Homo-oligomer: A and B are copies of this chain.
Amino acid sequence: MARVSDAEESSPRPFEAVVSAETAQTVVGLVGALVDECCLHLDDDGVRIPAVDPASVAMVDLELSDDAFEAYEAGGGRIGVDVDRLAAVVGMADRGQRVALALDPETRTLEIVIDELEYTLALIDPEAIRSPPDLSETAVDLTGEAVVDADVIDQALRAADMVANQIAFGIDADAKTFYVEAEGDTDDVSLALTADDLVDFTPGDAHSLFSLDYLNAINRAIADAPDIGLQLGTETPIEIGYEFADGAGAVEYVVSPRRAVEY
């Protein structure tokens, strides 16, 4: 998971891959939830996309193993892409179609082929794209974990969005409940789940407050997930993760907490 940083390694090397439209669309959707531009690390065992949102509040780290591809050949290096544009191109592919990708190092373009249609995407200089900090260097004390049905979180976020612009995620270790709370000027929203309601649960006292904007953006992107893993601490970032592409893909979001406003 070491980040590529020296200039030599960042120059593009051969890269050719074929992936299902569905997986390609999932990947650009998950990354596009937070950023407009990103770097694809073309490692020999798969693609990794670490990115941080412009306000440095939320990060995403996506890994797609070469097992997720029908064909995969990469020699390292990284390329910068416009995520919206890439999303629009792969979004045109119909269910069942495949997306073939080939890097042309000379013209610094990515050829995207969907059946007989060929789209030549101009790449962005990776040096011009902000890199996220290395999370492994940050000591974050995550005290509890809950694996939750994504539909339940979706409903809670939509309800919270009606009353407030921030939301608390927490665990009450004594009551053995995972909870979500939003307090509005007149109305409140709360969700409390015990182990019976959760796919998996490692209780440990936790309570942090987050901006709904970031959680909503992530929620929309992961709408198709069956269930999602949430790692929590007290006044720490939340880690939101799940696997896709039959386990060959994994995404992890990290969202920084808000300080509770005191009057």
Which A positions have Cβ atoms within 8 angstroms of B? 85, 88-89, 92, 94, 114-122, 151-152, 155-156, 158-159, 162, 186-193, 197
Contact = CB atoms under 8 A, between A and B. Distances in A.
Contact of A92 (B94, B116, B158, B188): B158
Contacts of A193: 116
B88 A162 contact: yes
A117 B120 CA distance: 47
Contacts of A152: 115-117
28 contacts: A85-B162, A88-B162, A89-B159, A89-B162, A92-B158, A92-B159, A114-B155, A115-B152, A116-B191, A116-B192, A116-B193, A116-B197, A117-B152, A117-B155, A117-B156, A117-B159, A117-B189, A117-B191, A118-B189, A118-B192, A119-B159, A119-B187, A119-B188, A119-B189, A120-B188, A120-B189, A121-B187, A122-B186
A242 B162 CA distance: 32
Could you tell me the dominant secondary structure of chain A's interface residues?
mixed
Contact of A191 (B94, B118, B151, B189): B118
Contacts of A159: 89, 92, 117, 119
A117 B121 CA distance: 45
Contacts of A92: 155, 158-159
Residue in A114, A115, A193 with the greatest tally of chain B CB atoms within 10 Å: A115
A120 B185 CA distance: 11
Residue in A118, A121, A193 with the greatest tally of chain B CB atoms within 10 Å: A118
Nearest to A114: B155
Contacts of A192: 116, 118
A191 B192 CA distance: 54
A82 to B, nearest CB: 9
A146 B84 CA distance: 33
B120 A187 contact: yes
A121 B151 CA distance: 22
Nearest to A124: B186
Nearest to A97: B155
A190 B89 CA distance: 13
